[in-house]
Each structure stands twice: as structure tokens, then as C-alpha cells.
Amino acid sequence: MSPVKTSKKTNLKKAEILADYALAIESREDSLIGRKEVFMGKAKFGIFGDGKELAQIAAAKYFQNGDWRSGYYRDQTFVMAIGQVTSQQFFAQLYAHTDVAAEPASAGRMMNGHFGTRSINSKGEWRTLTDIKNSSSDISPTAAQMPRLIGLGWASKLYRNNPNLKDYKDFSINGNEVAFGTIGNASTSEGHFFEAMNAAGVLQIPMVMSVWDDGYGISVPQKYHTTKESISKALAGFQRTEDQAGIEIFTVKGWDYPALIETYRKAVKIAREEHVPCLVHVEELTQPQGHSTSGSHERYKPKDRLEWEKGHDCLLKMRKWMEEEGIASATELDTLEKEAKARAKKARENAWKDYMSEIKEDLNQAIELIGKAALTSDNNKILQQIKNDLKSSLNALKADIVKAVRKSLRYLTDNNSEEKKRLQDWLKEKQEKYKDEYSSHLYSQSAESPLNTEAVAPVFGEESKLVDGREVVQACFDALFERDPRVIAFGEDVGKIGDVNQGFAGLQEKYGEIRITDTGIRELTIIGQGIGASLRGLRPIAEIQYLDYLIYALQTLSDDLASLHYRMKGGQKAPLIIRTRGHRLEGVWHSGSPMGMIINSLRGIHVLVPRNMTQAAGFYNTLMDADDPALIIESLNGYRLKEKMPQNIGEIKVPLGIPETLREGTDITLVTYGSMCRIVMDAAQQLSDFNISCEVIDVQTLLPFDRNKDIVESLKKTNKIAFIDEDVPGGASAFMMQNVLERDGGYFHLDSKPITITAQEHRPAYGTDGDYFSKPSTEDVFEKIYALMHEINPDRYKAIL
């Protein structure tokens, strides 16, 4: 098949056409007013969807309840057209209003143009997603919306083809839901886009991908971005044919209203009914105000281009078409435009009034409290100046108010008046309130939080067999798939061979390819599949074959999944489990332990580091009953080590953030995790032969870390501590040290300096010798702990080296 051609006729009634035009005018006015608000200092930054209005209205016409959008920051008209954002909410976001009712997309946490519908209620419970039009939460990095789009579409395929999911009608009605994606033409140059389009073609998912093409990427014209200066031409090889699956490709002009309507009718029909992905390349769009409020496009666009854009503005074209077709007179359209602009103006006024009302209340309270405190102080003159500066500030923000109060309290240190106490109490109250507004919901705050899980210990009996560790985790997965049809697993080599270490061995044959699936080599969209599927109520396990390969997907994990719950203040959740393996093996790759990188870039995702497969199984069971995303890093050299098979493999649970003491001791506390546990335990045993008693603690999870301060309790006893891991110096060892010594006050109990024992700064060299000389060995641990004891008591512990 060749790219689809469309006609320019429309059967829409006059009322609907005029309503579309009115919405387009209102949205354009929102953009124009929004830019002015930024320049007036009432907002920090503005990025708008002007020039894309008609195409977005056309696409939105075929967006049904249950459908999902994964778009970007120029989609304001689209989300307005599907009834998920009003002009007033648009301006509330521009002002960063922290009230969820006023700004439901992010409660003021994201800059304007970032949209998302609230999939869960205030208790963290799922809403009926098939009753609403859904938008996954936007993020700013270009093309970063693409990976999750694949998962949103793939979920429809799973719901349609897995008969055991037919009753989950809150999430899908027979897989009829379409995933709508949007992107700017320049961002199609990103690898995210190409990987996602390839994945969509392979998976054959119901996806409609719109490219808003205005010929530029900020100042850079199309010729520098795209082969053949056209993404539809560049992707021509993806076009499906009579005998080969692929993608259906459409091209249409962004100013041609009837052609846009017809194009999207056809594209969405194909996607919804046939589960075929479609690309709609919307060409000849304009961007009347340039890229953003950061600059003017007159600086880089030639005069002939600017003149062309004026003549091809989609609103001007639509008006001309309506007049020529006799749909409406010039007078009618003038009146309609005036009314639409008035609505936009009124929305701005109401949004600003609501936003400022709370701030003004805080401002007046602070001014009054500072003024009264000043009257009781020897620093009256300074305090009065602080008060007057605050009072005279134009459009004071919460930060300005709190700064003034905190500064005032500096000059009241010798004052014990009631007025000072009232000022302190006011500040404490506001700081708690602002902590909720700006710092809450990094993780789930619902009853289903994994932090609420109680431990269920493994049960062993005389009949418990000693098996390879891989068999333990395989039995756990078997139990998970047996009890919950929403559980799915996918990744490279996961299906037919049961993953490279046999954790899923035999399970595809038992549960079917629809639930345990092989993928191509594409870590980024493997994670995207997991995010999208979990947003739609499924319980995915996305496998990244080796920990080193997590870097391919780190941007999506960090910018999208880790921040999701936070950036919507609890409005959406994606309880994805990422399974991988790492630590010791052989060589520069497949043996990495970049834990510092991971824990510092993935705040918002729990990071679990089991030392064996029984512990890993307990984590999987914990997470499947919870609603937070997590990364589980299994120990690569643990699959062939022998463990007893628990009798209750499907029920054991390991709580998060609770360390386990593996060995009692009195001289020094050794803190470690993962594969290092075996080495540290070996060293501790050898140290005992030299009268050094080591307490060995497995932290079990790095995020969260030691929630009950158990390590400090050990430190109180030993007064000496070492942090040991396979990361580079200053990586996770420094993270653990900071938490124990600073966060938990462990420094108070030290009798000697704390030490870290880590890998070398380079990646491990190949072979057994490469491993030995690159990562901490039993001898390294022994000698460094012994040297510490020698420093404390050289007479008892004679120097070795």
C-alpha cells in the first residue's frame, strides 16, 4: 500500500465547524495572552501551541473514552478539545498554581503546556479509565514521550488478545483503545522516535502518531534535521504493504481543515479496528510566536518564510474556507472571534485572581506578624525595613514572603516575645504546607505503598530441596503468573528460552506468548512498554538483560518513570518492576555496578539489591501487591549457587528499607549488599580467627535505605564502621555513609574514622584475574579491616604489610 490520500470534503454540520473554529481562536488567544503574561513577569516561562490548532482539533474528534494520549508541550488545543483542560486551568499552570483543583495536571509542579489526566483518586485508587479520556503526564525532554506511547498502545493488544483480561473493563473494553502520540518535526531526529516507530511496526499496536511539522527546530531548519526534509518520506520503508505488516503513513496540510478531519477519521479507524500503527505527518504548520518566550523567531527565519507563515496561518485559512463555502459570514465570524477572545481573557483574569488570593492572604499575615515582632525588638528599624520591602514588592511570591520571615527571625534571636513565637509558628505551619505542595508524592502515599508491607519469612521443611538459585526465582514467577492474569514479562530472550539465566524457563509454554514475550534489542522501548502497560492497570516485569544496558533507558527511567508520581502530585501511577542482573561476572561489560549513578538519577523508583534469589523472590512478591515502580538487581553469580526452595515461595515478602544482620559482632560494623555479602561474610569469618569480631549488615535495599536506623544501633555497639560495595569510589558507599553518619547521626558514635572499600575507578578487566584485581576481594576486605584495627591497637594487631 502507498501513503493514503485524503479528500477535502467534510460532512460536519455548521454548528460543529463553528465550535471548532471558536475553540481554535480561544486557544490561540490563550497563547498570545500567555506570552504577554511572561513578559510582564507574572509567569516564569511560556511555551505554546499556536499554529497547530486545527490539526489538534481534527485528531481530538476521534479520541474516545478509554483512549490515551502521549504528547508534548504544544498540545494545548488537543487537550482542550477532548475536554481535559480549560483555558482557566491553562493559565493556572502558567502561574504555577499549587492547588490540584485549579491545576489538575501537575498542581503547579510543571511548566505550562504539560498535561495529564488524573488516573487515580486522592487515596491512590484507580478510577474507571474507560469512562474518561486519558492523557499520560507530559515531560519536556524531546521525544521522551515516545517510549511510553508504545506501552499504551501495546496494552490494548494485550487486553484484546488475552481472554483472562476480558473482565478488567475499568481499564479496557476489548482492547479498542487507541494510543495517540504527538511530536514536533525536529524531535523525530531523536533515537527515541526511531526506536519507537520500529517497535510499533513490529508489535502492530493501535497507535496514531502525529508529527506537527512547522519546518524548524527552534532556529534550525528542516534540512539539518531529517533525511529528504520529510519524516514521512524518510519512513517510507516502514509503510505496510499487501503482504507485509508495517505502518500506515498519511500526509496532510496543517491548514486544510476538511482534509485533516478526513485524514484522522481514516487513521484512527485503521488503528482502532485493525490494530495497525499509523503515522500522520501534518505539514505546512506555522509557529506564529516562535519557539517560546525565550526568543523571537524573527532572528532566524528569513523574510520570505515569515511572509509565507502569515499567509498560511491555519486560522486564517479556515476562516477563508468557511467564507468561500458559505458556512458563515464575515460578520458571524467576527462576532465568534470576539466572544472566544473574551473567554480567554476572562479565564486569565479568574486564574490570576484565584492564584493570588492565597498568596495575598499569606503576604498580609507575614507583614502583620513581622511588624508586631519589630515593635518588641531592638532591631526595630531593620525589621520595619524588611516589612516595608515585602509590602512594596510587586506580585510577591510565596518564596518572597518566606524569605522575609526567615530573614526577620535572624534579628529576633535575643527576643523571647509572644510576637516572635507567633512568627516562628506561622513559618513552621507554612513550611509544612509548602513541603506538601512542592515535595510530596515522590513515592506512593496510598495504603498500597510497598513501605507498608510486613515481612513474611520463607518456610523450609525436611522436604525442601537444595536447588540452583535460578529455580527459586523461576518458582516465584510461576506463582505470580498463576494468581494474577495482569502479570506480564517481556525483554530480550525472556520468552522462548526463559531468559539468559533461566528465570522464566518453561513459563512461556505454560502461560502463552501473550504474557511472556521476547522483544528486540531495544532497552528504551522495553521500559516504555512497561510504563505504558502499568499506566493502564497491568502488572509488567520489564527485563533489561544486564545492568550495564540500563544506561540505554536511563533517560526514560529518570525523566519519566521516576518523576511520574511526583510531577502529578499523585495523579498517576505506573507500578512497573524492572528486572536486571549485575555485579560480578567477567569483563568490562556484564559486570557493572554503577549504583551511585542509579540511585542518584532514579529517586522515585525503589532500588533493591538482593544477595540471593530467595530474597529476590520476596521482593517480587512485595512489589506485586504494591503500587510503586522498582528496580531489582539480581546477582549475576547467584543463579547457579545452591539455595533451599521455600515451601511458601509465592507468599514470602521482604519489606523495603529494612537491613538484615547476617552476622553478630562487637568490634566493627560492616555494611554491604548484593554479591558483596558473600565476600564480606567470608572475610568476617577469617577476621574472627584473628580475634576481630565483625557485625555484617546487608542493607537489602538502597532506595529506601535503612528506614529504622538499624545500622546506627549496630554502630552504637561497635563504634567503628566500614561501607563495602562494588561501585566506584564515592558511589553507593558514599551514599550509605552519608545516610548513616549524617542523616541518622551515626557520627556521634564513632571512635575511629569510617572507611569505604570499593572497586577500582575503572570497569573490571576480563577474566578471573581481571575481576580479582578490579573489584573488592576477600583479601581486600580482610586487610583493610585489619589495618583499621591495627591503627586502633597496634600492639594487639601487628601490621601485615
Maximum CA pair distance of the chain?
104
For cell 484484546, what's the residue? 160
Alpha helices in 325-395 (DSSP H): 330-374, 380-392
- Residue 711 in 3-state DSSP? helix
Q: Which helix (H) or strand (E) holds 687?
A: helix 676-688
DSSP state of 600: H
Task: Give the DSSP per-residue string, 164-212.
Answer: GGTT-TTT-STT---EEEEEETGGGGSHHHHHHHHHHHHHT--EEEEEE
What is the rounded distance in angstroms from the CA atom of residue 40 to the CA atom of residue 27? 20
Task: Give the DSSP per-residue string, 727-786.
Answer: SPTTSHHHHHHIIIIIIS-GGGG-SS--EEE---SSPPPSHHHHHHHHS--HHHHHHHHH
Q: Which helix (H) or strand (E) holds 279?
A: strand 278-283
**Catalytic residue chosen out of the listed positions 441, 565, 590, 749:** 590
- Residue 451 in 3-state DSSP? helix
What is the rounded distance in angstroms from the CA atom of residue 220 to the CA atom of residue 214? 11
With CA atoms as reference, report the closest residue to 562 among 551, 574, 545.
574
Q: Distance of CA 573 to CAs 48, 69, 495, 707, Å?
A: 27, 15, 27, 23
What is the rounded distance in angstroms from the CA atom of residue 669 to the CA atom of residue 750? 11
Beta-bridge partner residues of 70: 181
What is the rounded distance in angstroms from the CA atom of residue 702 to the CA atom of residue 736? 8
Beta-bridge partner residues of 698: 660, 672
| Contact indicator for 260, 254 with CB cutoff of 8 Å | yes
With CA atoms as reference, report the closest residue to 218 among 300, 295, 291.
291
- 590 tagged catalytic: yes
Beta-bridge partner residues of 644: 466
Q: Is 693 left (phi over 0), alpha (psi -120 to 50) or beta?
A: beta
Q: Which residues are catalytic?
A: 590
